[in-house]
Amino acid sequence: MAAAVSYPPQPWHLAGHAYASVWRVPEAELPPLPEGTRPAVVGGSATVVTAWIDYQPPGQLSYSELLATVTLAAAKPTATITDIWVDSEVSLAGGRELWGIPKDLAVFDFSPGRTFTATAATGSDWIATAAFSDRFGLPLRVPAAFEIVQTLGGALCRTPVRARSAARLASARWNLNPSGALGFLASRTPVLSLHLPGFELHFGQV
Q: Smallest Cα–Cα separation from 27: which of 16, 36, 40, 14? A: 40
- Structural contact between residues 194 and 163, judged by C-beta atoms closer than 8 angstroms: no
pTM for the structure as a whole: 0.95
Q: What percent of the chain has pLDDT over 70?
A: 98
Q: Of all helices (H) and strands (E), which one includes residue 77?
A: none
Q: Of all helices (H) and strands (E), which one includes residue 1?
A: none
Domain 19-203: which topology?
Acetoacetate decarboxylase-like (2.40.400)
Burial of 31 from C-beta contacts in 10 A (0-12 / 13-18 / 19+): middle
Instruction: Break the chain into its structural domains and give their ranges.
Output: 19-203
Mean pLDDT of 54-74: 98
- The C-alpha torsion from 31 through 48 and 204 to 197, rounded to 10°, is 140
pLDDT tens across 157-196, in order? Answer: 999 999 999 999 999 999 999 999 999 999 999 999 999 9
* Mean pLDDT, the chain, whole residue set: 95
**What's the pLDDT at 141?**
82
